[in-house]
Amino acid sequence: MKLTIAILPGDGIGPEIMKQGLAVLEAIAKKFNHEFIYNEAICGAHAIREVGDPFPEQTFKTCMKADAVLFAAVGDPQFDNDPTAKVRPEQGLLAMRKKLGLFANIRPVATFDCLLHKSPLKEELLRGADFIVIRELTGGMYFGEKYQDNNKAYDTDIYTRPEIERILKVAFEYAMKRNKHLTVVDKANVLASSRLWRQIAKEMEPLYPEVTTDYMFIDNAAMRVLTEPRYFDVIVTENTFGDILTDETSCITGSMGLQPSSSLGEHTPLFEPVHGSWPQAAGKNLANPIAQILSAAMLLEHFRLNREGKLIRQAVDASLEANIRTPEIQVEGGGNYGTTEVGQWIVDWINNQ
Ligand code: IPM
Ligand code: MN
CA distances from 215 to 14, 160, 188, 204, 235 (A): 37, 19, 9, 13, 10
Q: Is the pLDDT of residue 138 over 90?
A: yes
From 43, 74, 93, give the residue whose CB has the most ligand 1 atoms within 8 Å, as the site to mutate: 93
What is the predicted pLDDT for the residue at 192?
98
CA distances from 286 to 28, 39, 117 (A): 24, 26, 21
Of 22, 186, 8, 33, nearest to 97 (Cα)?
8
Q: Are the beta carbons of 153 and 120 closer than 8 angstroms?
A: no
Give the pairing of strands 2-10 and 181-186.
Answer: unpaired
Q: Measure the CA–CA gap between 306 and 328, rounded to whole angstroms.
A: 29
Q: Is 86 exposed, middle or buried (0-12, 13-18, 19+ CB in 10 A)?
A: exposed
3-state secondary structure of 234: strand
Known catalytic membership, residue 243: yes
Average pLDDT over residues 262-275: 96
What is the predicted pLDDT for the residue at 319?
97
Confidence of residue 85 (pLDDT cuts 50, 70, 90): confident
Of 151, 24, 12, 5, nearest to 73 (Cα)?
12
Confidence of residue 69 (pLDDT cuts 50, 70, 90): very high
Of 285 and 115, the one with more pLDDT: 285
Residue 308 in contact with ligand 1 by CB distance below 6 A: no
Name the H helices within 209-267.
218-227, 239-253
Known catalytic membership, residue 247: yes
- The percentage of the chain sitting over the pLDDT mark of 70, rounded to a whole number, equals 100
Q: Measure the CA–CA gap between 272 and 259, rounded to whole angstroms.
A: 9
pLDDT digits (tens, 9 = 90+) for 225-245: 999 999 999 999 999 999 999
Confidence of residue 82 (pLDDT cuts 50, 70, 90): confident
pLDDT digits (tens, 9 = 90+) for 282-325: 999 999 999 999 999 999 999 999 999 999 999 999 999 999 99
Question: Number of H helices and number of E strands within the chain?
Answer: 13, 12
For residue 261, the ligand 1 atom closest to its alpha carbon is: 9
Q: At the fourth CATH level, which superfamily is domain 1-102+266-353?
A: Isopropylmalate Dehydrogenase (3.40.718.10)
* Cβ atoms within 10 Å, residue 220: 12
Q: Is the pLDDT of residue 99 over 80?
A: yes
33 CA → ligand 2 middle, Å: 36
CA distances from 267 to 43, 44, 75, 163, 264 (A): 18, 20, 24, 15, 8
pLDDT digits (tens, 9 = 90+) for 149-174: 999 999 999 999 999 999 999 999 99
Average pLDDT over residues 192-199: 98
What is the predicted pLDDT for the residue at 250?
84
Q: Are the beta carbons of 43 and 57 closer than 8 angstroms?
A: no
324 CA → ligand 1 middle, Å: 29
Q: Are the beta carbons of 141 and 154 closer than 8 angstroms?
A: no
Q: Measure the CA–CA gap between 316 and 115, rounded to whole angstroms.
A: 12
Of 253, 268, 262, nearest to 320 (Cα)?
253
Residue 328 in contact with ligand 1 by CB distance below 6 A: no
Q: Is the pLDDT of residue 83 over 80?
A: no
Q: Exactly one of 219, 284, 310, 348 is catalytic; which is it?
A: 219
Mean pLDDT taken over the chain: 95
241 CA → ligand 2 middle, Å: 10
What is the predicted pLDDT for the residue at 28?
98
Q: Are the beta carbons of 11 and 332 closer than 8 angstroms?
A: no
Q: Are the beta carbons of 255 and 288 closer than 8 angstroms?
A: yes
Q: Is the pLDDT of residue 183 over 80?
A: yes
Ligand nearest to the CA of 98: 1
* Cβ atoms within 10 Å, residue 230: 13
- The percentage of the chain sitting over the pLDDT mark of 90, rounded to a whole number, equals 88
Residues of the chain with CATH 3.40.718.10: 1-102+266-353, 112-265
What is the predicted pLDDT for the residue at 81?
79
Known catalytic membership, residue 130: no
Confidence of residue 256 (pLDDT cuts 50, 70, 90): confident
DSSP letters, 97-164, are HHHTT--EEEEEEE--GGGGGGSSS-HHHHTT-EEEEEEE-SSGGGTS-EEE-SS-EEE-----HHHH
Residue 90 in contact with ligand 1 by CB distance below 6 A: yes
Q: Exactly one of 53, 76, 118, 142 is catalytic; which is it?
A: 142
What is the predicted pLDDT for the residue at 84?
80
Amino acid identity of 38? Answer: Y
From 94, 239, 243, give the residue whose CB has the most ligand 1 atoms within 8 Å, as the site to mutate: 243
Q: Measure the CA–CA gap between 291 and 114, rounded to whole angstroms.
A: 17
Q: Exactly one of 53, 174, 187, 208 is catalytic; which is it?
A: 187
User: Which CATH number does the domain 112-265 belong to among 3.40.718.10, 3.40.1180.10, 3.40.50.300, 3.40.228.10?
Assistant: 3.40.718.10
Known catalytic membership, residue 214: no
What is the predicted pLDDT for the residue at 80?
80
